[in-house]
Amino acid sequence: MATEYLSTKEAAEKLGYSVQHTRLLIRQGKLKARKPARDWLVVGESVAQYQKRLDFPNKPDRNHPRRLSSVVNVATVPFRSPFRYPGGKTWLVPRIRQWLSSDNQPRKELIEPFAGGAIVGLSAVFEGLVERVTLGELDEDVASVWRAILYGEGEWLADQITAFEMTAANVQRVLARADESVRDRAFATIVRNRINRGGILAPGAGVVKKGENGKGLRSRWYPDTLRKRILNILKHKDRIDFVQKDALTLLEEKKDDTDVSWFIDPPYVVAGRRLYKYSEIDHDKLLALAGDLSGDFLITYDDSPQIEKLAETHGLAVCRVPMKNTHHQKKMELLIGPDLSWLAS
């Protein structure tokens, strides 16, 4: 089979690194490449191999065969979402790579019906693990951000972010205009997501007072980074769709489509209420629907005995994986799927 080559830029995009860092990896011999002209030609297979190395080794825990022992280091995962999202799944991205590449060819479509900050959908599209992604989300504020970025207001949003000076008076002004249009609502949502404690957008969420190093409201306002993330999403927007819809309706509508893979990340069973405006889910119905899907799927849940039991009732495989929460405490979460044998690969 002919060797597939990538330009340095393409390799960098796949890995989520800068072109400079990718060149360094080539010089260090960590990526195989040759240089017939000015730019390097990077061996595609070596990029795929390196990507696997970024993932933490997947050692099953000897005492608990259905539990994986290693915690993913989130510093190895590029942040691609414009949100800082409570319950965000950045830590799961290495496992998602493992899952979506288990067929050795890109999946046709990934649907993420509880999209939130959509780190999984974005990573899958950016890294070429899927041809298309559909994001679904019920929250009107979160929806406004995806709509604005994907349907014509992404550059406007990026410009607003760059021009904005983070002061209490300016925040008030932006929030007061939130109802005027989708793009105003989107900008107000991005501002709230940055200034609210833990990025929480649910009604009643507190605003940071002191913030990091006493920087107050500005403590999480990184306009250049946010702008770049939005502009990067725009590069892939033709492969991303968004629908504002109840997740169970979306599942019902597309359940017979064999070309769809599903990443399903519902609100936590208990903590969901504090974190999201919409959090009431019929978990039994959701797991029953999942059991009926014709396509492949992966569900994540907090480690709840009630959910584990329900999943087993519906004939689904369950595994525990460790993660570190925002307070750096190790916690277990559940992965549920029709078959989780790819976890051992």
**Binding region for ligand SAM (CB under 6 A) out of 150-158, 203-211, 272-280, 335-343:** 272-280
DSSP string, 181-244: -HHHHHHHHHHHHHHBGGG--STTPPBPSS-GGG-GGGGG--HHHHHHHHHHHHHTGGGEEEE-
Smallest distance, Å, CB 88 to ligand SAM?
4
Question: Judged by CB, which is closer to ligand SAM: 184, or 265?
Answer: 265
Q: Binder to ligand SAM among 222, 278, 314, 342 (CB under 6 A)?
A: 278
Q: Binder to ligand SAM among 78, 82, 94, 116 (CB under 6 A)?
A: 116
119 is a contact residue toward ligand SAM (CB under 6 A) = yes
246 is a contact residue toward ligand SAM (CB under 6 A) = yes
333 is a contact residue toward ligand SAM (CB under 6 A) = no
Q: Binder to ligand SAM among 114, 126, 221, 262 (CB under 6 A)?
A: 114
Write out 266-331 in H/E/C secondary structure. CCCCCCHHHHCCCCCCCHHHHHHHHHCCCCCEEEEEECCHHHHHHHHHCCCEEEEEEEECCCCCEE
For residue 119, the SS3 value is helix
Q: Binder to ligand SAM among 111, 142, 145, 335 (CB under 6 A)?
A: 142
Q: Binder to ligand SAM among 13, 55, 127, 139 (CB under 6 A)?
A: 139
Question: Judged by CB, which is closer to ligand SAM: 124, or 158?
Answer: 124
Smallest distance, Å, CB 78 to ligand SAM?
14
Question: Judged by CB, which is closer to ligand SAM: 116, or 295?
Answer: 116
Smallest distance, Å, CB 250 to ligand SAM?
8
- C-alpha distances (whole Å) from 153 to each of 145, 192, 324 are 9, 18, 35
Let me know how long the chain is.
345
Subset of residues 169 to 208 that bind ligand SAM, contact rule: CB under 6 A = none
Q: Binder to ligand SAM among 40, 146, 276, 301 (CB under 6 A)?
A: 276
Judged by CB under 6 A, the number of residues near ligand SAM is 24
What DSSP character marks residue 142?
H
Q: How far apart are CA 199 and CA 203, in angstroms?
A: 12
Contact 260, 111 (CB under 8 A): yes
Question: Judged by CB, which is closer to ligand SAM: 41, or 233?
Answer: 233
Smallest distance, Å, CB 38 to ligand SAM?
39
**Binding region for ligand SAM (CB under 6 A) out of 11-19, 108-116, 148-156, 175-183:** 108-116
Smallest distance, Å, CB 316 to ligand SAM?
19
Work out the burial of residue 329: count CB atoms within 10 Å of its CB; fewer than 13 is exposed, 13-18 middle, 19 or more buried: exposed
Q: How far apart are CA 38 and CA 25, in angstroms?
A: 17
Contact 279, 246 (CB under 8 A): no
Contact 231, 237 (CB under 8 A): no
Query: 299: closest CA among 132, 104, 124, 92?
Result: 92
138 is a contact residue toward ligand SAM (CB under 6 A) = yes
Q: Binder to ligand SAM among 137, 141, 184, 333 (CB under 6 A)?
A: 137
Question: Judged by CB, which is closer to ligand SAM: 13, or 137?
Answer: 137
Subset of residues 78 to 107 that bind ligand SAM, contact rule: CB under 6 A = 85, 87-89
For residue 134, the SS3 value is strand
- C-alpha distances (whole Å) from 143 to each of 25, 139, 147, 242 are 38, 6, 6, 8
Contact 282, 243 (CB under 8 A): no
**Binding region for ligand SAM (CB under 6 A) out of 14-22, 30-38, 137-145, 334-342:** 137-145
Chain contacts with ligand SAM (rule: CB under 6 A): 85, 87-89, 113-114, 116-120, 136-139, 142, 246-247, 265, 267, 276, 278-279, 281
